Structure 1
Amino acid sequence: MTKSLRLVPVTPANIETAIAVKVRPEQEHFVSPVVKSLAEAYVHPNAAWPRLILDGGHPVGFLMAFFDLDWNGKGVDFRSGLWRLNVTADAQGRGVGRFAVESVAGEVRRRGGTQMYVTWEPGVGGPEGFYRKLGFQLTGEKSESQLVGVLDLTKPS
């Protein structure tokens, strides 16, 4: 992983750069495009946290986290975690995904959270192995067609 990775908010000045972040074609069915994430952020402004991932000044990914999201819409189960992660094809395998997960975990901790959630589309070539390697455990739940994983942030990583 390069030491120059950083997160920046998506702004009018860099929105086109964010929208241009694309995963490999064979991964497109596993993750929604950035433009959908930005639309979701617009309708969930109090929960969504969209960020462009830069390596120096070069875009290498996009993430959107969520904080205190009303998970089931019933006002009793509020969760925080990683909503979306898109890493450009040329940046995959260089630690960008791990940086993104660690960055969101740090922000969840900073906000007082002890658990971090993520969902993923199951399937061959999908991200399950990546998330499981980072310590996420299946909860046994599904969010639409996606599996739900949780990471205990009280344990050392």
Structure 2
Amino acid sequence: MSTPTESSSAPALRLEPVTPQNIDAALELKVRPDQEHLVAPVARSLAEAYAYGGTAWPRLVYDGERLVGFVMAFFDVVFQPGDQPLAGLWRLNIAADTQGRGYGRFAVEQVAAEIRRRGGTRVCVTYVPGEGGPAGFYARLGFRPTGGFSGEQAIAELELG
């Protein structure tokens, strides 16, 4: 697996807010067909970001001028009554033709950095468990299953050190 590099000849990876100038490209972003049942499309994510206001943090992932993904974090969400508010990764869509190049890892690392910047000490993620799902990806990044569920999605956490 090749990973993105930062050098004088290659632009750095970055996250950008969704704007009127890039929303059409964001809405065109598609995961592989075999992954469509695992993650909501960007259009749904943006509708949820609008509905949930300050809780949602939607961003586009760029490699130079090329849009390669979409990530959305959440802040101050309580899954169960009495729990502490959590922050984490709500949605991750990496374009079908750009997967396996480190863009998903970069996006998750940027979400973790934003959570840390806001004073958080852990990152939560929910995902569809089972064959073909992203459990292995998150495990390789250090996430550990909690044994809990949000609806039918498994919950995993990453402690920020």
What is the aligned partner in structure 1 of residue 113 from structure 2?
106
What is the aligned partner in structure 1 of residue 160 from structure 2?
153
- Map Cα deviations across residues 60-117 of structure 1 (whole Å, 9 max, x no partner): 0000001112333x47531001000000111111000100110000001000000100
What is the aligned partner in structure 2 of residue 35 from structure 1?
43
What is the aligned partner in structure 2 of residue 68 from structure 1?
76
What is the aligned partner in structure 1 of residue 9 from structure 2?
none
What is the aligned partner in structure 2 of residue 118 from structure 1?
125
Instruction: Determine whether 1:134 maps to 2:141.
Output: yes
Q: Is the 8 A contact 2:27 2:43 kept in 1?
A: yes
- Between the aligned partners of 2:79 and 2:120, the Cα distance in structure 1 is 15
Question: TM-score scaled by structure 2?
Answer: 0.91
What is the aligned partner in structure 2 of residue 90 from structure 1?
97
| DSSP-derived class of the 2:113 partner | helix
Question: TM-score scaled by structure 1?
Answer: 0.93
Amino acid at match of 1:86: N
Q: CA RMSD in A?
A: 1.1
The count of residues paired between Structure 1 and Structure 2 equals 153
| DSSP-derived class of the 1:141 partner | strand
Which of the residues 16, 27, 30 maps onto 2:24? 16
| DSSP-derived class of the 2:119 partner | coil
- Between the aligned partners of 1:142 and 1:48, the Cα distance in structure 2 is 20
- Between the aligned partners of 2:152 and 2:115, the Cα distance in structure 1 is 25
- Between the aligned partners of 1:36 and 1:23, the Cα distance in structure 2 is 14
Structure 2 portions without partners, runs of 5+: 7-11
Q: Is the 8 A contact 2:79 2:150 kept in 1?
A: no
Percent identical across equivalent pairs?
Answer: 58
